[in-house]
Chain A
Amino acid sequence: EIVLTQSPGTLSLSPGERATLSCRANQSVSSNYLAWYQQKPGQAPRLLIYGASSRATGIPDRFSGSGSGTDFTLTISRLEPEDFAVYYCQQYGSSPWTFGQGTKVEIK
């Protein structure tokens, strides 16, 4: 099973700042099948990035994904008030599909 470790656990930032979230796998993620999701309280997750770097439909270009193999990054270039949420990475290359434990981006 591929274990995904996200860091940091919590990121305290102000609107307008840049957020950099990390997702590290304990083995290589097949074909860069790595996704990022945003989840707000009481809501289902929303797909942001798939294939490590492709933005999902309707996702603003301030969200970008990068990385390959075992190290992946989600960057939010300038935080908007609606971006404060929990973010999860997920690999869907090897069964069982697995999620990271999440990074909470909170208002400083």
Chain B
Amino acid sequence: QVQLVQSGAEVKKPGASVKVSCKASGYTFIGYYIHWVRQAPGQGLEWMGWINPNIGATDYAQKFQGRVTMTRDTSISTTYMELTRMTSDDTAVYYCARGTSGSYHAAFDSWGQGTLVSVSS
């Protein structure tokens, strides 16, 4: 079965960076886009961007341009999301999610368990 397993919770100081991983299994890794979505405490869902694991192409939400980088390692079926220059506003649960088809125009049919990133001095 399709599974996305994310790395564990992180605590960071303001100004620091975080790199969250998302390991895929149960399907052909390079065949489906991976998206990253975050959710601040008690708030709604916010899309951050996607990566095409086949060619490494990315698209980021304007809000995160210059601060976010999504990469992948096809040898271990893992994608990464790195966020730099974090502030307390970046405290959130970060999810990876798989698109339902091989296009970036796809809903998200499988989600990781979420990674809590806390930013505090």
Give chain A's interface residues, CB within 8 Å of chain B.
30-31, 33, 35, 37, 39, 44-47, 50-51, 56-57, 88, 90, 92-93, 95-102
Partner of A101, one of B35, B44, B61, B100: B44
Whether B106 sits at the interface, judged by CB under 8 Å, is: yes
Tell me if B's interface is mostly helix, strand, loop or mixed.
mixed
Q: How large is the interface on B (under 10, 10 to 19, 20 to 34, 35 or more residues)?
A: 20 to 34
Give chain B's interface residues, CB within 8 Å of chain A.
35, 44-47, 59, 61-63, 95, 97, 100, 104-109, 111-114
A99: chain B residues at CB < 8 Å are 44-47
What are 27 pairs between A and B in contact, CB < 8 Å? A33-B107, A37-B45, A39-B45, A44-B95, A44-B111, A44-B112, A44-B113, A45-B97, A45-B108, A46-B111, A47-B108, A47-B109, A50-B106, A50-B107, A50-B109, A56-B109, A90-B45, A90-B47, A90-B108, A92-B105, A95-B59, A95-B61, A96-B62, A97-B35, A98-B47, A99-B46, A99-B47
Could you tell me the distance between the alpha carbons of A93 and B108 in the complex, rounded to whole angstroms?
A: 13
Could you tell me the distance between the alpha carbons of A1 and B59 in the complex, rounded to whole angstroms?
A: 15
Which of chain A's residues has its CB closest to B50's CB?
A97
Q: In the bound complex, do residue A92 and residue B106 qualify as a contact, i.e. CB atoms below 8 Å apart?
A: yes
Q: In the bound complex, do residue B105 and residue A50 qualify as a contact, i.e. CB atoms below 8 Å apart?
A: no
B112: chain A residues at CB < 8 Å are 44
A31: chain B residues at CB < 8 Å are 105
